[in-house]
A and B are shown apart, each in its own frame.
Chain A
Amino acid sequence: MLWLYLHFPHLVLDHIRRSREDQGALVVVEGSGQKVIQACPDAREQGIHRGMRLKTAISLAPDLGMVRADETQEARILEDQARWLYRYAAHIVLVPPDGLLAEIGSLQKLYGGLPAVWQTVEQGLNERRLNAWIGIGYTPLAARLIARAGKGECTADKGHILRALSQMPLLAAEFNQKACTRLQRLGLNTLGEVFALPASELARRLSPELLAYIQKIQGARPDPRAPWQPPHSFRQQADFVQEIEHTQGLLFPLQRMLAELEEDLCWRQQDTDSLRLVLRHRHSEPTRLQIRTSGPEHRADNFLNLIRLRLEQHSLSAPVISMALVVKRFLSREAPSGQDLLGETRDLNEAWHTLVSRLQARLGDQALRQLSPQADHRPERAWSASEVLRKTGTPLVPATELPRRPLWLLNGPQPLTEAPVTWFSGPERISGGWWDGQRVHRDYYIAQLNSGQLAWVFRDAREGWFVHGWFG
Chain B
Amino acid sequence: MNLRWKYLIKRTGQMLLTLWIIATILFFIFRLMPGNPLVAYIDPTFTEEQQEILMKQFGLDKSLWMQYIIYIKNLFQGELGQSFFFKDSVINVISKVLPNTIYLMLTALIIAYTAGIVGGIFLAWKRGEMIESVGIVFTLFTRAAPQFWVGMILLAIFSFQFDIFPSGGVSQAGTVYSSELDKLLSFQFYRHLFLPALTLSIYLLGLPLLLMRSNMLDVMDESYVEMAKIRGVSKIRVLVKYAARNAFLPVITAMAVGIGYAMGGNVVIETVFSWPGLGRLLVKAVSTSDYPLAQGAFILIAGVMVFMNFVADILYSLLDPRVNIDSKR
Do A and B originate from a single complex?
no
